[in-house]
Structure formats: structure tokens, C-alpha cells
Amino acid sequence: MGYGDNFQAVLVSNAIREMRRFVAKVDGDTSRDVNTSAYLGDLLVTAYSQFSRNRTFGNMIGKGYSVQSAQLEMNMVAEGYYASACIQEYAEKYAVELPICDAVYQILYQHQPASKIIQALSEKLT
């Protein structure tokens, strides 16, 4: 979508904080370390690896593919698609603010234009 490395760095740093809020609110275990490979490692692979299925899927959505078209063309499962619906459900249930997850959900499940949603998200990130 034309966003550069600086935006990606801001997005990733905000995503880490979002993961911490989510885990603390949903699990109630504030000692859980999101800096492990299951959390931070997966985020970094998704953000930076050209071999990540979730990144490939996201790039396709950003280029204008529909969810169905991206899924068919990839011929692999991007788990993040399904995880985003689950995360959205928990975020609503536990009233936790997750602007990045909410943006992803709006794009993937509510069929909102990615360009509009990411622009609005970029104004919320610090």
C-alpha cells in the first residue's frame, strides 16, 4: 500500500503493546512474557519475512484482492485470517482496546477498504 519502513516500525511497536494489553486483560496473567517466540517471534516473522503466509495474505489484501481470491491463489492457510475473528470476539467480550486488530477485522470481515482503514489506523498509532 506504499507505507514505508518507518510506518512498519511504528505498527510493530504498537502491535507489541497491543499484545500485552490483550494477554493481560483476557488471561489476567501479567507475568506472561509476550517477548517469546510464540508472541513476538510470530509478529516479527509476519512483519518481516517474505515467506510468511500471513504477510503474503496481507500483501494480497492490500493490493486489492478479496479474501476469497487471496485464499484461493495462495493455496495455503493464513492462520491470521481466522485468528483475527477470534481476537475480535475476545476484545469485545473483555472490552480491551486493540486498534490494529480492529482494523484487520474491519478489512477482512466487514469488507472495509484497506486504504481507508489503514489511513485511519495510522492516525491512532504512536
pTM: 0.92
What is the predicted pLDDT for the residue at 29? Answer: 67
- What percent of the chain lies above the pLDDT cut of 70? 98
Residues 61-114: tens digit of each pLDDT: 999 999 999 999 998 999 999 999 999 999 999 999 999 999 999 999 999 999
Residue 77 or 32, more confident: 77
> Helix 79-94 crosses helix 99-108 at what angle (to 10 degrees)?
120
The mean of the pLDDT values for the chain is 94
